[in-house]
Amino acid sequence: MAENEDRGSPDISKSDKRKQSLYFPETMLDEIQKEAGRLQRSLSWVVQRAWKHARKEIKQIPGSNEPQE
C-alpha cells in the first residue's frame, strides 16, 4: 500500500468541499434564492441538484472547438 493511502478514509469525491465563485444574472439568482427558501435548502444544494438534473442535456451541446455536423 502506498504511503499516502488511507484504508479507512471515505471517498474523497463525496466529501470534497471546494469554494468557487459563480456569477448569475440578478433575476436568475433571485429565482434560485426563492426556490432555496421554499425548499428550506441552501443555494449550493439547489445549484448542485440543478446540475445533476441537467448534466446529460448539457453534455450533448457541442463545444465551441468541436466541428459542426
Which amino acid does the sequence have at 32? I
pLDDT at 19: 87
Provide CB contacts within 8 A for 33, sequence distance 6+.
43
Do residues 46 and 39 lie in contact, with contact meaning Cβ atoms separated by under 8 Å?
yes
Q: Which residue has the cell 441538484?
A: 49
pLDDT (tens digit, 9 = 90+) per residue, 3-53? 444 455 455 556 678 888 999 999 999 999 999 999 999 999 999 999 999
Residue 49 is predicted with a pLDDT of 96
Written as nine digits, the cell of 19 is: 469554494
